Amino acid sequence: MNNRLIKLSKEQKVMWMHGEKGQGLAQFYIPHSVTVDTAQRVWVADRGNKRIQVFNSVTGEWLGTWGSCFTEDAPYSVRLTPDKKYFVVVQLNTNQISLLDAPPVGMIGQCRVVSVIQLADDVKPHLVDLDLKTGALYVAEIGAQQAQKFTPFSLGENFL
């Protein structure tokens, strides 16, 4: 397995790299998904270690880890919402889509679950992506062998 996180330049030169199999800081066991926020942080779903690791996108410096939200199941995929306030995380074995608070710039803090969508048994959500213009959520499900689209709707000023 390729347990690495690599940043390449436009010329395909390695700018920085982390990775070897393990449970330590900047080590991975099946890194499965990444997303980058506007604060120059790279968030990596480190599936085999049941955590999300965070790195500086410019220097590659390790910034922190979120693990307390993933005691039952690992994060398989992570994406930042268009408003940059939340992370959407799918968890395959518990059939869940979780919404986590995104920390403010300059902090990593502890992960905090805001909301959970419980999917039917054996759906097995595997990957997630968001349409940055409409906020639609796309979930690829390996158990159900399909992709679902969830569209946001508004109740006053709150989007669900």
DSSP output for 54-97 = EEETTT--EEEEE-TT-SSS---EEEE-TTSSEEEEEETTTTEE
Average pLDDT over residues 89-105: 92
In a domain, 37, yes or no: yes
Give CA–CA dist 107/130, Å, rounded. Answer: 24
- Give how many domains the chain has, as a whole number: 1
pLDDT of residue 79: 94
pLDDT of residue 27: 95
In a domain, 156, yes or no: no
pLDDT of residue 13: 97
**For residues 51 and 7, is the Cβ–Cβ distance under 8 A?**
no
pLDDT of residue 132: 86
Mean pLDDT taken over the chain: 90
In a domain, 129, yes or no: yes
In a domain, 51, yes or no: yes
In a domain, 65, yes or no: yes
pLDDT of residue 135: 86
Average pLDDT over residues 55-73: 94
Q: 56 lies in which domain range?
A: 5-150
The domain that holds 41 is classified in CATH as 2.120.10.30
